[in-house]
């Protein structure tokens, strides 16, 4: 009997299903594609590992609007840490600061306001007047402060950024990228956690005027604790958001969305995607011995080896047991050895793809050995 078309079709579909199952069995690490995000540019990274989870046009130079103020407060935080400022220090408000257009803290000309209050005015209220007041107090004028901002951008590797003011009001050569903003935000959170906590405050009252934080995610998602929103007609609606769930922190940057709701929604979509399908693990701690190496011609035969910094990896969920780590140590390490000197590497891979490679360094110094030690090791090396 001739096989019916319907029966043939069923067999064909079954064979496709079988083929798909075999393919999946050979390549079991399946990750849904990143969501479509209605923005000119975006990036989603893991804070600890630096892994880029999703991106689009992440290196496109764009006007950042008030996202600029992340760099403004970063410079101020560094001045505080270096002892050049104190939080209770008083700042006299100039006419220029008072007159700066856009979002405002409502400071008054010739009045004195503490550095701490001005930082709150920048971080929570996005006050352009507060930004200019801080810039002038730190550097004498806003132009010099912008030069300080650019110095820090270069130091952080923000190679596609240039700042001309402390506020983000648009000018021709004032630009940054989503990727650079993610680098900057990582630096703020890691270097200044005590100051970063102010980003999560939902409102701030100054001069009897209470203004809410413009970051709508602070109300929608309890894991979100920052960072900054921005808007100008040129830049569109922008947002840098950070959230921490359990021990995993993600940073999202969206630039050039259509509305305040859109920037919040798109940021939430990115964060949810990252937390749903990825996980981050600390594999090794800094300054912890991972292996001992043989040292020749030294006053010690054993050298503890480890990492200068913690090693984190971000991987698809439920694949932790599939990770592979290799410790490679150089052969014939000769004294003297300096602490921190590299003699190998730690390499981590998943399904044949390298995820991380860090230098393996000496955790202590080893001095050159005495005559007997060196003579003995010379003899042993000749026998190898």
- Catalytic residue, chosen from 41, 49, 63, 66, is 66
- Catalytic residue, chosen from 69, 183, 297, 358, is 69
Beta-strand ranges (E) seen in 13-77 are 41-46, 52-56
Active site residue 40: no
What is the three-state SS of 149-193?
Answer: HHHHHHHCCCCCCECCCCCCCCCCCCEECHHHHHHHHHHHHHHCH
Sign of CA dihedral 60, 64, 68, 74: negative
- Catalytic residue, chosen from 126, 131, 242, 267, is 126
Could you check whether the bond before residue 227 is cis, i.e. omega within 30 degrees of 0?
yes
**Cα 6-7-9 angle, rounded to 5 deg:** 65
Active site residue 69: yes
Q: Please check whether residue 223 is in contact with residue 243, taking contact to mean a CB–CB distance below 8 angstroms.
A: yes
Sign of CA dihedral 9, 15, 16, 18: positive
Sign of CA dihedral 114, 117, 118, 119: positive
From the list 179, 203, 298, 196, the residue with the least C-alpha distance to 243 is: 196
Dihedral over alpha carbons 142, 143, 149, 153 (to 10 degrees)? 160
- Side-chain-side CA neighbours of 56 within 13 Å: the count stands at 15
Active site residue 126: yes
Q: Residue 380: enclosing H or E segment and its boundaries?
A: helix 371-383
Dihedral over alpha carbons 197, 199, 201, 207 (to 10 degrees)? 120
Q: Count Cβ atoms below 10 Å from residue 44 Cβ, excluding itself.
A: 28
Alpha helices in 239-340 (DSSP H): 260-277
* CA–CA separation, 145 and 164 (whole Å): 9
From the list 193, 186, 190, 212, the residue with the least C-alpha distance to 201 is: 212
Phi first, then psi, for residue 270 (nearest 5°) are -65, -45
Tokens of 367: 């001095």
Q: Which residues are catalytic?
A: 66, 69, 126
């Amino acid at each position: 009997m001739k096989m019916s078309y319907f029966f043939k079709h069923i067999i064909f579909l079954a064979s496709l299903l079988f083929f798909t199952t075999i393919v999946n069995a050979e390549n079991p690490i399946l990750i849904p594609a990143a969501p479509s995000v209605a923005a000119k540019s975006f990036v989603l990274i893991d804070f600890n590992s630096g892994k880029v989870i999703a991106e689009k046009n992440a290196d496109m130079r764009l006007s950042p609007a008030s996202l600029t103020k992340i760099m403004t407060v970063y410079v101020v935080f560094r001045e505080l840490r270096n002892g050049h400022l104190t939080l209770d220090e008083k700042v006299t408000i100039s006419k220029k600061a008072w007159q700066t257009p856009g979002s405002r803290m409502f400071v008054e000309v010739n009045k004195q306001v503490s550095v701490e209050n001005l930082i709150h005015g920048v971080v929570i209220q996005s006050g352009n007047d507060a930004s200019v007041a801080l810039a002038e107090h730190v550097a004498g004028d806003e132009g010099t402060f912008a030069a300080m901002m650019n110095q820090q951008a270069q130091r952080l590797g923000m190679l596609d950024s240039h700042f001309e003011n402390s506020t983000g009001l648009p000018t021709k050569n004032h630009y940054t990228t989503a990727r650079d903003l993610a680098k900057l935000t990582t630096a703020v959170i890691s270097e200044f956690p005590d100051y970063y906590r102010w980003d999560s405050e939902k409102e701030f009252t100054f001069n009897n005027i209470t203004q809410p934080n413009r970051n709508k995610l602070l109300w929608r998602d309890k894991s979100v604790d920052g960072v900054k929103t921005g808007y100008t007609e040129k830049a569109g609606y922008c947002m840098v958001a950070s959230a921490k769930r359990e021990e995993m922190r993600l940073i999202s940057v969206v630039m050039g969305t259509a509305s305040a709701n859109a920037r919040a929604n798109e940021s939430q979509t990115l964060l949810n995607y990252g937390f749903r399908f990825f996980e981050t693990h600390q594999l090794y701690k800094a300054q912890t011995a991972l292996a001992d190496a043989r040292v020749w011609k030294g006053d010690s035969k054993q050298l503890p080896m480890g990492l200068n910094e913690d090693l984190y990896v971000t991987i698809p969920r439920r694949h932790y047991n599939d990770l592979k780590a290799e410790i490679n140590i150089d052969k014939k390490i000769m004294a003297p050895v300096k602490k921190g000197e590299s003699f190998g590497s730690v390499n981590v891979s998943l399904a044949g793809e390298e995820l991380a490679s860090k230098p393996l360094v000496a955790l202590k110094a080893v001095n050159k050995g005495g005559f007997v030690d060196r003579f003995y090791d010379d003899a042993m090396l000749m026998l190898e």
